[in-house]
Chains A and B, each alone.
Chain A
Amino acid sequence: EVQLVESGGGLVQPGGSLRLSCAASGFKFGSYWMHWVRQAPGKGLVWVSRIETDNSGTLYADSVRGRFTTSRDNMKNTLFLQMDSLRAEDTAVYYCAKMNGYGYFDLWGHGSLVTVSS
């Protein structure tokens, strides 16, 4: 089955760290750029980061640059988002998404909730 499954979310204190994982199956993971998108409770979608087919090409939204790091393990078909120096405003459901060759997202995970609170 073609799918993306996120894990690793939870409750973390401000200033803390968390690492999200996104396990891919059913397609050739290493051939596609991957993205992270987040959605704060009751709010819209916000693009977070992109990684190219290998770990050399990454891009981040201004709001997370310098605090978040996206990486991937193509041998294990897994995408990661390392989140450091977390703030209350990072509270959101985090989705991983597969980008096809044209630039839009044709497959999304179910999301992982990250709550930053003391």
Chain B
Amino acid sequence: DVQLTQSPSTLSASVGDRVTITCRASQSITSRLAWYQQKPGKAPKLLIYKASNLESGVPSRFSGSGSGTEFTLTISSLQPDDFATYFCQQYDFDWSFGQGTKVEIK
């Protein structure tokens, strides 16, 4: 099984900050990684697929990078609507998710 480890688990930030979340895979997953945003009581929402491709309709302040075993999600300028929990997901060897990173207001 492919294990995904996200860091940090919680991140405190202010509006306008640049935020970076890391996702590390236990083995190479090439670029088959997606990022999702989830707000309390809501379903996850796809942000990024294939490590760096922005889903249609997602603001350009979100970006993804990486390949192999290390990936990052960056929010260039944090907006009030971005306070949420973010999950990475690999889809190279079946499917699995990271444990999540909660972005909270500082």
Contact = CB atoms under 8 A, between A and B. Distances in A.
Interface of A: 35, 37, 44-47, 50, 59, 95, 102-106, 108-111
Contacts of A105: 34, 36, 44, 46, 89
Contact of A110 (B36, B43, B55, B96): B43
Contacts, number: 53
Contacts of A103: 32, 91-92, 95
Interface residues of B, number: 23
A111 B38 CA distance: 12
Secondary structure of the B side of the interface?
Answer: loop
Given A47-B96, A110-B43, 4 more contacts: A44-B100, A47-B95, A105-B36, A108-B43
Contacts of A95: 43-44
Contacts of B55: 106
Contacts of B45: 108
